[in-house]
Chains A and B, each alone.
Chain A
């Protein structure tokens, strides 16, 4: 089974995001970069399927030079090789352009399943997996918490509001991973050593024939709207505080 896992390098979830004074983006100073957690579930699932069904896992990432660390992390977890698409023109590209670059890199390699994270926790767009599937002309199953491969089909579990769907798809297809799919492994020390020698192909937009045509642009990055200062509710005992809170929610906030 040939499996592709797409990964993106993002700021760690504990990062305090600071907006640049000119509002052109975020201040990247001091950020700890990690693999997007949802992509990590995809990589783990890819590795488990490979271990069960044999085959190869190829990691594909679009990102600046530092994103190589994230590809190496996936290789250390057990993937065979990587493709790193580096191009300054792609640094602030929109999801359609990123997906076009991924599609151009993936279309020339064999694949049965492509994993992506259901969204990246930086820009939170959640579009790339589906666009990639469309560009490759294959089906998508998104936000998936369980995967079973059976011959030429795949059976997945997709939670939606108030229900879980069990969906069957033909292969090849794109699966976007949701938390709950698995518990990603840590890279072992021998894995980390081996990863250093695994091949990573480097491509740019021109070599992939991808044109950069901005369709959606972030014109301004802003800090979240400030919340008015809150009230600490005082009282003799928990009962009195609870009574006052209930009153405020009813009379002041009018939410109950």
Chain B
């Protein structure tokens, strides 16, 4: 691989919806800036979409030196084919040393396809990245966070996907140059097509992107009781989650499940109500910054992970907590 030693530049693939950058794009830009400064290289962003050329400049605020923009209707809505083909062609042409994406729904789909197209290695869903002896060293949870792996990617580009909500957004104004690129795609050749986008009308942030999660388990005793969690969540601007027990009982939809076979989350605050703390649940929420447990069983394993614990009846504590939080926030 001697000839690949010339690979240069820390590249990111940004993500936007309806002409607005998703937060992960700024997390990517800020992280790339930090790595690029250590390497003495530049940060280059790829922006794909339709009618999005105007937003490219925003990336400069977070340390991006150069943006390649492909503005074409074929990129909306996202399909693996259209995006992967374009990104792979730019990457092959410019040979970056590092390529970062978000471990969002779209980023996971795209990044894995790119690993195939570029025949390289990738560390998925990373929570830390650093440069060691000129190479990218990633830290990532495995077994849903029961242990962590340090991963060295030895092929180029060294790819990593970043867990959303973990890497800080840092302003670092650069005058990003913007370069338009062609779209190397014949729409007739695309093998997949998005027929419909059914938006979730609840207005709630997805669990994987939530700053605060209020979650309920078997101790909720039934689906009708989640209303007290929803009231607390409304005051906090939180999203309601659930344990596997609650989902398997049919109390809450599948998309609400937190854990090893559900969503792995990392909010600032996770409030676990009536959740005992099965290993597979702890794995899914263990990287939350603060954990609160409310459970009447003092021996519940969740208390060993909680920053703050209340041993009491959740049906009495949660409504009181809602009242108190309301007072504080008013």
**B240 → chain A closest CB, angstroms:** 14
Identify the closest chain A residue to B208 (Cβ): A161
Please report the total number of A residues contacting B with Cβ < 8 Å: 87
1/0 per residue, CB under 8 A from B, across A177-190: the answer is 00110000000000
Query: Is A168 an interface position by the 8 A CB rule?
Result: yes
1/0 per residue, CB under 8 A from A, across B16-33: the answer is 000000000000000000
Q: Please report whether the interface of chain B is mostly helix, strand, loop or mixed according to DSSP.
A: mixed
Cβ < 8 Å to A, chain B residues 77-134: 77, 80-81, 84, 104-106, 108-109, 111-113, 115-117, 119-125
Measured in the bound complex, the distance between the Cα atoms of B307 and A227 in whole Å is: 8
Known: A165-B194, A216-B153. A143 touches B325 (CB 8 A): no
Query: Is A66 an interface position by the 8 A CB rule?
Result: no
Of A12-20, A52-60, A73-81, A82-90, the one contacting chain B is A12-20
B80 contacts across to A, CB distance below 8 A: 130, 139-140, 142
Q: Are A222 and B150 in contact (CB under 8 A)?
A: yes
B236 contacts across to A, CB distance below 8 A: 256
Q: Are A96 and B307 in contact (CB under 8 A)?
A: no
Known: A167-B194, A179-B262, A255-B268. A216 touches B141 (CB 8 A): no
Q: Are A255 and B313 in contact (CB under 8 A)?
A: no
Of A107-115, A195-203, A240-248, the one contacting chain B is A240-248
Cβ < 8 Å to B, chain A residues 150-174: 155, 158-170, 173
Q: Are B320 and A163 in contact (CB under 8 A)?
A: no
Query: Is B146 an interface position by the 8 A CB rule?
Result: yes
Measured in the bound complex, the distance between the Cα atoms of B80 and A36 in whole Å is: 25
Measured in the bound complex, the distance between the Cα atoms of B117 and A99 in whole Å is: 12
Identify the closest chain A residue to B323 (Cβ): A242
Q: Are A139 and B198 in contact (CB under 8 A)?
A: no
Q: Are B200 and A168 in contact (CB under 8 A)?
A: no
Measured in the bound complex, the distance between the Cα atoms of B123 and A129 in whole Å is: 16
Q: Are A143 and B109 in contact (CB under 8 A)?
A: yes
Query: Is B221 an interface position by the 8 A CB rule?
Result: no
Measured in the bound complex, the distance between the Cα atoms of B32 and A6 in whole Å is: 35
Identify the closest chain B residue to A231 (Cβ): B308
Query: Is A205 an interface position by the 8 A CB rule?
Result: no
1/0 per residue, CB under 8 A from A, across B244-271: the answer is 0000000000110101111010001100
- Pairs A–B under 8 Å by Cβ, sample size 22: A13-B280, A95-B112, A124-B140, A131-B113, A131-B115, A134-B116, A163-B200, A168-B192, A213-B155, A215-B153, A217-B151, A218-B150, A219-B137, A220-B150, A221-B148, A221-B149, A222-B148, A242-B323, A243-B324, A249-B292, A255-B290, A256-B325
Listed from nearest, the 4 A-B pairs whose CB atoms lie closest are A134-B116, A216-B121, A215-B121, A130-B112
Task: Give 16 A-B pairs besides A135-B116, A140-B113, A218-B149 with Cβ atoms closer than 8 angstroms.
Answer: A11-B143, A17-B147, A121-B260, A124-B142, A143-B105, A160-B104, A165-B197, A215-B155, A216-B123, A217-B152, A219-B137, A219-B152, A221-B142, A221-B149, A256-B325, A256-B328
State the A residues within 8 Å of B (CB): 11, 13-17, 19, 26, 37-38, 94-96, 99, 121-135, 138-143, 145, 155, 158-170, 173, 179-180, 213-225, 227-228, 230-233, 237-239, 241-243, 245-250, 253, 255-256
